Chain A
C-alpha cells in the first residue's frame, strides 16, 4: 500500500482524481496526517496534515430519472446537485453515500441522538428523519460547509481548543446544533438555556462540560467579530 511508503513527491492533494469516489475514499482512509505524509516534501508542509479540510465535492448532475426515481435539486454547502433518488432514500444517506459528504453521522436512524444534525434552509434538522424527495430545491449546510475555506468557523476552533469531544462522532451534530442555537434570538445566553437547547445532541463520551465551554467561547468570538 503506497500510503505507508516514504513521500514520493509526486504532487499535491489536488492532483488526485477528485471524480473517483474510490480514490477519494482511499485518501480519506489514510487517517491523521495521511495526506501530507504521502505528498509533502518538507516538514514545513507537514502542518497541512492536521489542517486538512474536507475534500471538495464535485457537482452531481444525474440524467433522466429511471422508473421509480424522482429528480431533485439540492444545494449543498453552496454547490448545486441534480440527483435522482428513490422515494425511500433518506436525506442523510443521500448526502453520505451519493455525495460523499460523510462528515454528517448516523447514530440512531430515529432522530433520537442528534448526530446527523444539519441545516436545511437555515433550520437545524435531523437528516435521518427526512426523506430526500422532500428537499427538492432546498439549501443544505453540513459540517463540511461550516468553515470558510481553510478558516475554521469560530465554533469549530473553539471545539478544538476546548477539547469539546472525545471520539468526535457526535461532533458535527453538536456543531450544527450549536450554530443554529447561537443564531436563535429566542434562546438566551445562559448556561442553563444552552444545555436545554443542546440536549437533543447526545455525547456518549460525556464531553458536555467542554462542549458548553466551547459554545460559550464561540459566542463571544462571534459577537466580538460582528
Chain B
C-alpha cells in the first residue's frame, strides 16, 4: 500500500461539479413529460378532515389529478425494520384515512402540467376539519397521558443509595426544544414508472433502505425498484428514511402514468420530514470527598408522535464516558401532536451531552474542583456499560491538548471576573463522544483496459466527501492517481452500501472498496498467468502489484498491457464485508473549549472562539474531515444559541417554520475555529483505522457554550437555546415553558 494518499488532503473529485452548478440533485432531474405535484397540508394539529372541496381546484388550469384520502390507491405499510432494510420513521402512509395527527400533514396532493399550475390549484383546495384538542408540547403530553417506558436502558450498582450517602450531590433538570434539520435542499422526489418498474430520484441518505421500504409499500420485488441519489443537499438525519412525500409522488406517478416531481416546501420541512424531539432530562450526580463520581443517574423523556414511537437515547453516552460504579439511564416518551421525530445529527448524544456535560460542570463547581481537572479525574478508562476495553481512547490527550491550545490555564474561575472592555469573557469546556459503528457492505471495482478504475457502491455522498475518500481507498491499494478513478454512488443498481449516517459510512464502505480492489487485482493476476497471459506459467502468488503494475522478478508490466494483450475489457472484483465485532467498545472521543463574550450593556452574547480536539482514529482526507468537524461545531453552535422550533401551546401549530424565524448560524455568527485532529489509527475497528467523523463535533458543544455562559454571567441556563433574553436581569422569567 502507498501510505501517502490516506490522510492526505486532496480536493474533492466531485468539486468541479459542485462549483459549476452541474452536480445533479433530486429536483434537478426532469424526465420527459414530468408533471408537478404540490401538497396541501393540514392547518390543524389534531382532528379529522370532514370535507374536501376540490371543484375550484379541479377547474384550475393544467390540473391532472388531485389525490386525497378518498381516492389514494391502496398501498401497504412498511414493516419499518432497520434489520430487514425497510426502515421508515413515519409508518402511516400519506392519505391513509381522514385523521390528522399533526399540523403540516399531507391532506391532498395536486398534480398538474406545470409547477405554477400545481401550486395555484393547491391553494384552491378547501379543507374543512373537525378539530380536537391538541397535545402541543412535552409538558402537556406528560400531563395528559404520562410517559411510556423507553428502550436502551442501563443500570449498574446502586445509584440511589450511593447518591444518598455521598459528600456532594446535584439534582438538576435540563430541557431541549424541538430542533429541525433544515438541510439546504428540501426533500424532493422525482418518480417515474416504466413497465411496472419504479425509478425514483430522491434526496436520500440511504437509497438501499428506501428501495426496501418502497418494495414493501408497493408490494413489488426489489428488482422492480431503483432509487437514485447521486447528490444530496445534505440531510443531517432527516433523509435517512423515506417520508410520506416519496410515497405520494410514486403513487401519483403510477396513477397518472407520467413522471411526477414533488418538492416538500420549506414550511413542511418542519412538519412531515422529522425533527429532533423535545427533551426533558433529569441528572442526579454525586461525588465523594475527593471529587470522584460515586453516583450518576440520567433520566430523559422525549416527545414522539401519535403515529410512531421514536426514542431519543439521551443517556447513550452517559453510561460509558465517566467511571462510576453506580449508574442508571432511562428513556421515556410522551405523545404529542407533532410529526414523527427522527435522528438528527448525533441523535441522543447531542441533547444528552448538553445535559450531562452541563451537569458535570455543575458537579465540579459543587465539589470545588476545576471542571477540566474534574473530567480528567473521572474519565472512564474502559467501557463500564459493556464491560469491554475501548479499542482506542485518547480523550485525556485530546482534552489536555485542546486546553493548552485554548489557554484554559489563564481562566480565572470566578464567574464574571474576566473582562475585555465592555465585554465579559467566559471560558467553558465539555467532552464530546460518539459511538463508532460499522455495518455490512458490498462494493465492486473494475480495473479497466482504458487505464481507469471504476468503483460502484450504493452508499451516498451527502457532502461528507465519500466520493473522494472512496477514490483515495482505491488509489491506496492500486497506486492509481485519483484522476484515473471513477466513483459512482447513490444508485440502488450498485452493490448494497450503507446509509450515510451515524458516522458509519467511512468505516463501513472503505474496507469493502479496498477488498473489492484487491479481488480485482487477483483476477488480473489470474489473467496474467493464464496460458495467453504476459506472465504465463508464473505462479499468481508470486506476482506483486505496485503502482498499477504487475511485478515479477524485477519485470514490471502495466495492468493495461496485461488486459490489452488478451483483449480483455477489465479485471473485476466484488467484496462483501461484515459489520463490527463485539471484541471492544468502539467509540470516538474529544473535547471542546469555548470562549463566549457577553456585553451586558447592549445584551449581546456571542461565541467568539472554539478549540476542539477530536480523536476519531485515522483521518482519511484531512481537508474534508476538518470541514466535517468545523461544520458540526457550527451546528452545535446553532443548538446552543438559536435553534428551536416553537409550537403554539394552544393548538400545537408550529409558529416559526421558515428559514428566517427558525434561526440558524450564518456567516456573521462564525467564531474562530481551531480543530485538532488526533489521528491515531484504530486498526481494531478496520484496516484503515477510521472510526467516522460526522457526528462527534456536534456533541458537547452546547454544554461547552452553556458552561462558558455561566462563567461569564454566573447564570446557569439549563434550557436550550441560550437566548440573550435568558441572561438579561430585567426580564423576570426566561421564555421557557
Contact = CB atoms under 8 A, between A and B. Distances in A.
Given A33-B488, A106-B27, A160 B16 contact: yes
Nearest to B451: A43
Interface string B172-190: 0000000000111110000
B484 A43 contact: yes
Contact of B667 (A26, A113, A208): A208
A110 B658 contact: yes
Given A108-B266, A171-B18, A199 B30 contact: no
Contacts of B484: 43, 46
B450 to A, nearest CB: 5
A84 B379 CA distance: 68
A25 interface: yes
B16 A105 contact: no
Given A42-B451, A167-B185, A25 B30 contact: yes
Nearest to B634: A206
B631 interface: yes
A195 B19 contact: no
Contacts of B115: 93, 97
B21 A196 contact: no
B18 A54 contact: no
30 contacts: A4-B456, A6-B569, A28-B22, A31-B230, A31-B490, A32-B13, A37-B454, A42-B451, A44-B451, A46-B450, A50-B15, A102-B28, A105-B25, A106-B186, A152-B16, A156-B20, A157-B19, A159-B15, A163-B11, A167-B183, A167-B184, A167-B231, A168-B23, A168-B231, A169-B184, A194-B667, A204-B635, A204-B664, A206-B631, A206-B633
Interface in A199-220: 199-212
Interface string B248-270: 00000000000000010110000
B486 A29 contact: no
A137 interface: no
Query: Which among A41, A200, A204, A212 has the greatest number of chain B C-beta atoms within 10 A?
Result: A204
B10 to A, nearest CB: 10
Contact of B630 (A29, A200, A206): A206
A160 B456 CA distance: 24
Contacts of B201: 29
A22 B266 CA distance: 27
A194 B231 CA distance: 29
Interface residues of B, number: 88
B160 interface: no
Contacts of A28: 22, 24, 28-29
Contacts of A52: 16-17, 20, 22
Interface string A172-194: 10010000000000000000001
B475 interface: no
B139 to A, nearest CB: 29
Given A30-B230, A166-B624, 10 more contacts: A29-B201, A31-B488, A40-B450, A46-B484, A89-B116, A107-B266, A152-B19, A160-B16, A166-B627, A208-B670
B116 A93 contact: yes
Contacts of B598: none
Given A54-B20, A142-B21, A32 B668 contact: no
Nearest to A40: B450
Nearest to B626: A163
Interface in B608-628: 623-624, 627-628
B236 interface: yes
Interface in A108-151: 108-110, 112-113, 115, 142-144, 146-147
Contacts of B27: 102, 106
Contacts of A103: 20-22
Interface in B19-78: 19-25, 27-33, 61
Given A29-B24, A37-B486, A102-B24, A205 B32 contact: no
B30 A209 contact: no
Interface in A18-72: 20-22, 25-26, 28-34, 36-37, 40-44, 46-47, 49-55, 68
A76 interface: no
A198 interface: yes
A47 B670 CA distance: 36
Interface stretch (B362-370, B461-469, B704-712, B728-736): B461-469
B660 A199 contact: no
B232 interface: yes
Contacts of A171: 18-19
Given A28-B29, A46-B483, A106-B263, A167 B24 contact: no
Nearest to B32: A22
B57 to A, nearest CB: 15
A112 B11 contact: no
B232 A167 contact: yes
B230 A110 contact: no
Nearest to A47: B483
B21 A1 contact: no
A50 B19 contact: no
Nearest to B28: A102
B12 interface: yes
Contacts of B624: 163, 166
Contacts of A157: 19
Given A204-B183, A209-B670, A6 B16 contact: no
B288 interface: no
- In the A-B complex, the 7 residue pairs with the closest CB atoms: A103-B21, A206-B634, A43-B451, A169-B233, A167-B463, A31-B230, A168-B18
A88 B451 CA distance: 52
B450 A33 contact: no
Interface of A: 1, 4, 6-7, 20-22, 25-26, 28-34, 36-37, 40-44, 46-47, 49-55, 68, 86, 88-90, 93, 96-97, 100-110, 112-113, 115, 142-144, 146-147, 152, 156-157, 159-161, 163, 165-172, 175, 194-196, 198-212
A25 B634 contact: no
Contact of B450 (A4, A31, A42, A93): A42
A70 to B, nearest CB: 13
Contacts of B488: 4, 31-34, 37
Given A31-B489, A52-B17, A110-B658, A25 B11 contact: no
Contacts, number: 274
Given A110-B266, A167-B463, A144 B185 contact: no
Contacts of B570: 6
A109 B265 contact: yes
Contacts of A33: 13, 486-488
Contacts of A34: 488
B486 A36 contact: yes
Given A152-B20, A165-B18, A107 B659 contact: yes
Contact of B19 (A42, A175, A200): A175
Nearest to A28: B24
Contacts of B560: 43
Contacts of A42: 450-451
B93 interface: no
Nearest to A26: B31
B493 interface: yes
B502 to A, nearest CB: 17
Interface string B648-682: 00000000001110001111101001000000000
A198 B546 CA distance: 48
Contacts of B15: 50, 159-160, 163, 165
Nearest to A22: B32
Contacts of A53: 20, 22
Given A86-B116, A107-B659, A115-B184, A199 B668 contact: yes
Contact of A160 (B12, B30, B266, B486): B12
Nearest to A24: B30
Nearest to B622: A163
A143 B263 CA distance: 22
Contacts of A51: 16
Interface string B430-464: 00000000000000000010111010100000111
A209 B673 contact: yes
A194 B265 CA distance: 30
